Amino acid sequence: GSGKTYTMFTSDHSVKCDEDDLFDASGKSGIASWGIIPRVCAEIFQAIDFRKENVAMGIGASLSLSYIEIYGNEVIDLLRNGSACGHSRVAASRYVLEGSAEVAIESIEDVLQLLNVGEKLKRKGATAMNQRSSRAHTVLILKLTQNSRKTGDKMTSRMFLADLGGSEKLKKSQILHDQSNFIVEKIIHDGNAPQQSSQRENSKNQLQEAVYINLGLLALKNCAEALKYKRRHVPYADSKLTMMLSEGMGGNSRTTVLICGSQEADQTAETIDALKFGQSCGKISKTSTSSNIKMLCSLVKSIEKEISDCEEEIEKHERWEMKETTRIDPRAEGEARTETWNT
């Protein structure tokens, strides 16, 4: 593989956590083997702790997490024993985006535990190009809720972290080759042997997984093209993957795309395709405005009101006094000078 899952999660198949090593001497998150997702979560919790310690800021914050896998038109909840999200395929996206799949988290240890739970339920399979290839798309959604204790205003932010399935050509990954071999075996032999039936079923599933992955990636590419050329219609509805990522790709959001390429010579074509997709994403330009402007304006108004109240209080206790002072100039005999001060 090119290292997509390695980049997002870890070098190992499970994310390890040692409480003594959560942060290094500089305060940055960090066990060396951690990928982007655990590091992001560690930094967010560090920011939340800072707000809690600085009571004067008057900001409370909470974090929740959704962890799903997209396989074709199915959206699977990796934190609830792999159950399907929503009552139907149509409602699955709304079920997740409305927060029904969220789990509250209070520490980085909670995150690592949930990541390991989801890891055991992911679809993985060996192909000719990757012994542990992700056979579906994975999306982790972080929801940060902040509220001002002074004004009561609330701001909600979401971060979508996606680990896409491997885009492997069917011929190179030998899925079609294996499928054709089993068909030939069925013609030559009886084909009723349990082992042959099981192998043929596995090959069929692999072919279906590859088709689902490529359809999702094609839909993602089409959406990127539409955003690049600023078309009025962006086909998010073509795939469950793009429907889930629609808020992160368009609208008032900021998007980062990481392209992973293999250095193997026999995977040159796949690497070039990935780089072309990254180049296309790099040409997308959009203007995003901070969604916390309203909250900041409310805080400014609150401070202005406090200043106004203080000024009124000062005026209530403020008073004017007349003082008369007589000074005698020793150089002028018998002459006195009277000065009046208003205070």
CATH code for position 22: 3.40.850.10
pLDDT band at 195 (very low <50, low <70, confident <90, very high): low
Contacts of 76 (CB under 8 A, 6+ apart): 68, 69, 70, 82, 83, 84, 85, 121, 136
pLDDT at 283 over 50: yes
pLDDT (0 to 100) of residue 205: 72
The residue with tokens 């149509």 is: 90
pLDDT average, residue stretch 189-199: 54
Q: Is there a single domain that holds both residue 246 and residue 305? A: no
pLDDT at 69 over 60: yes
pLDDT average, residue stretch 16-20: 53
The Cβ-side half-sphere exposure at 231, using a 13 Å CA radius, reads 12
pLDDT (0 to 100) of residue 111: 92
Q: Where does a domain end: 291, 307, 325?
A: 291
pLDDT at 215 over 60: yes
Choice between 36 and 53, residue whose per-residue pLDDT is larger: 36
Q: Is there a single domain that holds both residue 227 and residue 334? A: no
The verdict on pTM exceeding 0.85 is no
pLDDT at 10 over 70: yes
pLDDT average, residue stretch 72-96: 82
Q: Where does a domain end: 255, 272, 291?
A: 291
Number of domains forming the structure of the chain: 2
pLDDT (0 to 100) of residue 93: 79
pLDDT at 6 over 50: yes
Q: Is there a single domain that holds both residue 264 and residue 326? A: no
pLDDT (0 to 100) of residue 90: 64
Q: Is there a single domain that holds both residue 218 and residue 303? A: no
Q: Is there a single domain that holds both residue 196 and residue 322? A: no
Q: Which two tokens stand for residue 288?
A: 């995003």
Most confident of the ranges 19-33, 185-199, 203-217: 203-217
Nearest to 123 by CA among 34, 219, 18, 216: 216
Q: Where does a domain end: 250, 276, 291?
A: 291
pLDDT (0 to 100) of residue 173: 52
Q: Is there a single domain that holds both residue 324 and residue 188? A: no
Q: Is there a single domain that holds both residue 244 and residue 197? A: yes
Print the domain residue range for 304.
298-342
Q: Is there a single domain that holds both residue 254 and residue 328? A: no
pLDDT at 299 over 80: no
Q: Is there a single domain that holds both residue 42 and residue 161? A: yes
**Considering only 138-152, 172-186, 311-325, which range has the smallest mean pLDDT?**
172-186
Q: Which two tokens stand for residue 282?
A: 């790099």
pLDDT band at 233 (very low <50, low <70, confident <90, very high): very high
Q: Is there a single domain that holds both residue 59 and residue 177? A: yes
pLDDT at 41 over 70: yes
Contact between residue 30 and residue 45 where contact means Cβ atoms under 8 Å apart: no
pLDDT tens for residues 120-168? 888 765 554 545 556 789 999 999 999 888 878 888 999 999 999 876 6
pLDDT at 225 over 60: yes
Q: Is there a single domain that holds both residue 324 and residue 277? A: no
**Considering only 92-96, 203-207, 217-221, 282-286, which range has the smallest mean pLDDT?**
203-207
pLDDT (0 to 100) of residue 39: 92
Q: Is there a single domain that holds both residue 44 and residue 102? A: yes
Contacts of 145 (CB under 8 A, 6+ apart): 61, 62, 63, 64, 154, 155, 156
How confident is the prediction for the chain on average, in pLDDT? 77
Q: Residue 255 burial (CB < 10 Å; 0-12/13-18/19+)? A: middle
pLDDT (0 to 100) of residue 318: 74
